[in-house]
């Protein structure tokens, strides 16, 4: 069943999102590497069609996991209802695939990207430069200072949560999102995207009262690492209601679900 899903995903991505033959060939190579579990770490360039727009993307073969989750599994839904000029925080931006996907739908968006891992950050800056994404090589947490980043062999699994599977550990700067919002005079955040591998609750705690300026939150909840009751209670205490929870293919197998919340009175077109 797993390989059937992968085959359907590859067909979808190659047919509907790869803009040209070189892009299809390189993406097909990434799917072949996934089957073999042997990866070429060298970055490659593709042209990706999303929502009627074409984006230039630099990625590695292992990033095919994240690409498939966003484009095929639609783990972030379709995000209808944002205002035409949304202010977005991409927490755990990785190489910028979510930000690219969002920008293709909302080209007037202002996107603040946070990614602490150096190799991911280099690709992130390259991928969002054409729409002026604001990139910061820091982690987000409940306290400012430094944090230990447990670096996985998979580029989407780096975490501030200790892990035996970590390839190595490095020290990274950590900031509170409340401080960032205050320092940058952000009156609102239309969307906070959370993909922080178990630090979801810490990021929300780091917002403090500024969570009331956030209209919508969408992200992953790593069930084995997060106190879900505390997570959803904190959101409820700041006026957020849960719109949806979803257990996507593969993600649900690993104890991860996606969720979306909205604050009462949020600035939006529709929900």
pLDDT at 20: 97
Could you give the number of structural domains in the chain?
2
**What is the domain extent for residue 258?**
77-263
Residues 60 and 115 grouped into a single domain: no
User: Is 153 part of any domain?
Assistant: yes
User: Is 18 part of any domain?
Assistant: yes
User: Is 8 part of any domain?
Assistant: yes
User: Is 270 part of any domain?
Assistant: no
Residues 63 and 172 grouped into a single domain: no
Q: Of 52, 59, 53, 55, give the one whose Cα is nearest residue 27.
A: 59
Q: Across residues 206-219, what is the average pLDDT?
A: 96
Residues 91 and 161 grouped into a single domain: yes
Domain final position from 55, 72, 89: 72
User: For the chain, what percent of residues have pLDDT higher than 90?
Assistant: 75
pLDDT at 13: 97
- Burial of 104-117, coded b for 16+ CB within 10 Å and e otherwise, reads bbbeebbbbbbbbb
Residues 48 and 114 grouped into a single domain: no
For residue 256, pLDDT beyond 80: yes
pLDDT at 251: 53
Residues 115 and 26 grouped into a single domain: no
Q: Across residues 166-192, what is the average pLDDT?
A: 94
Residues 237 and 121 grouped into a single domain: yes
Strand order in the sheet with 145-151: 139-140, 168-175, 145-151
Comparing 253 with 39, the larger pLDDT belongs to: 39
Q: Where are the alpha helices (DSSP H) in 72-199?
A: 97-105, 118-128, 177-183
Q: Tally the C-alpha atoms within 13 A of residue 24's C-alpha that lie toward its C-beta.
A: 9
User: Is 271 part of any domain?
Assistant: no
Residues 231 and 101 grouped into a single domain: yes
88 band by pLDDT with thresholds 50, 70 and 90: very high
pLDDT at 253: 55
Residues 168 and 233 grouped into a single domain: yes
Domain final position from 72, 98, 125: 72
pLDDT at 271: 42
Q: Average model confidence (pLDDT) for the chain? A: 91
pLDDT at 165: 72
Residues 99 and 190 grouped into a single domain: yes
Query: Is residue 97 within 8 Å of residue 111, measured between CB atoms?
Result: no
Residues 88 and 54 grouped into a single domain: no
DSSP H or E stretch at residue 226: none
Q: How far apart, in whole angstroms, are the C-alpha atoms of residue 13 and residue 17? A: 5
Domain final position from 72, 92, 107: 72
Number of helices (H), then strands (E), in the chain: 8, 12
Q: What is the pTM of this model?
A: 0.93
Give the lowest-confidence range in 112-116, 207-211, 215-219, 262-266.
Answer: 262-266
Contacts of 38 (CB under 8 A, 6+ apart): none
pLDDT at 42: 97
User: Is 140 part of any domain?
Assistant: yes
255 band by pLDDT with thresholds 50, 70 and 90: confident
Q: What is the pLDDT of residues 21-78, one digit of tens each?
A: 999 999 999 999 999 989 999 999 999 999 889 999 999 999 999 999 999 998 888 7
pLDDT at 235: 97
Q: What is the pLDDT of residues 141-158, one digit of tens each?
A: 999 999 988 888 766 678
What one-character DSSP code corresponds to residue 243? Answer: E
**CATH number of 177's domain:** 3.40.50.150
160 band by pLDDT with thresholds 50, 70 and 90: confident
pLDDT at 106: 95
User: Is 157 part of any domain?
Assistant: yes
Residues 109 and 24 grouped into a single domain: no
User: Is 269 part of any domain?
Assistant: no
For residue 252, pLDDT beyond 60: no
Residues 184 and 131 grouped into a single domain: yes
């Amino acid at each position: 069943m797993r390989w059937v899903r992968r085959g359907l995903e590859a067909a979808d991505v190659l047919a509907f999102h790869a803009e040209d033959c070189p892009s299809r060939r390189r993406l097909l190579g990434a799917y072949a590497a996934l089957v073999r579990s042997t990866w070429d770490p060298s970055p490659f360039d593709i042209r990706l069609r999303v929502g009627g727009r074409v984006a230039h993307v630099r990625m590695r073969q292992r990033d095919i996991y994240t690409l498939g989750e966003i484009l095929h599994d639609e783990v972030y839904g379709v995000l209808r209802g944002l205002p035409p000029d949304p202010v977005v925080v991409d927490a755990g931006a990785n190489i910028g695939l979510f930000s690219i996907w969002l920008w293709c739908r909302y080209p007037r968006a202002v996107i603040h990207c946070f990614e602490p891992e150096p190799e991911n950050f280099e690709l992130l800056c390259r991928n969002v430069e054409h729409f002026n994404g604001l990139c910061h090589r820091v982690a987000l947490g409940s306290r400012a200072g430094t944090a230990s980043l447990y670096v996985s062999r998979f580029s989407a699994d780096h975490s501030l949560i200790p892990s035996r599977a970590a390839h190595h550990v490095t020290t990274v700067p950590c900031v509170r999102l409340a401080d960032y919002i205050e320092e940058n005079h952000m009156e609102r955040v239309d969307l906070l995207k959370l993909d922080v591998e178990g630090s979801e609750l810490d990021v929300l705690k780091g917002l403090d009262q500024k969570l009331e300026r956030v209209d919508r939150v969408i992200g992953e909840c790593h069930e084995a690492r997060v106190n879900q009751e505390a997570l959803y209670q904190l959101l409820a205490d700041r006026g957020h209601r849960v719109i949806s929870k979803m257990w996507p293919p593969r993600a649900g197998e690993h104890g991860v679900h996606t969720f979306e919340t909205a604050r009462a009175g949020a600035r939006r077109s529709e929900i």
